[in-house]
Amino acid sequence: MKKLGMMMAAMMIAVTGFAKDIKTVVFNTAPEMHCNSCENRIKNGLKFEKGVKDIKTDLETKTVTIEYDADKTNVDNLVAAFAKIEYKATEAGKGAAAGEKKGGCCKKKAAEGAAAGEKNGGCCKKKAAEGAAAGEKKGGCCKKK
């Protein structure tokens, strides 16, 4: 009986020694994530990064929450992963990412769309209406690559 108890204790210590260091970080992005296409682009772009365990996006708060294994990656590596998909990421509460506001991806596409004679559409219909009030033109965003 004593041997069984000692073996159980040894196994519990061994399992504890192999516990992963799972951490969570919340990011804001620039351009801001504002539609399902943005969400999908971020999730698909980051899901295979080493150490990433889970990605949750929230359109209402425009945040990306990533659960990761700190033994395999870190916040700087995750920020670099965002850069690969043309987003600038900053930890939530640590300042606005490059000071960019709503519709960041639309601004770039608006110029491209206007040159090609495209009209507002896709995920930017809402943003286009907002932009029209401000005298801005918007063109089909989030269709990058």
Helix (H) or strand (E) holding 112: helix 104-115
CA distance 31 to 80: 15
Overall pTM > 0.75: no
Closest alpha carbon to 142 in 57, 44, 60, 37 = 37
**Residue 115's CB: how many other CB atoms inside 10 A?**
9
pLDDT per position as a tens digit, 89-117: 999 987 544 444 444 455 444 444 444 44
Please tell me which residue, 56 or 142, carries the higher pLDDT value: 56
Token pair, residue 44, equals: 């698909």
* Contact present, 33 and 45 (Cβ < 8 Å): no
CA distance 130 to 37: 19
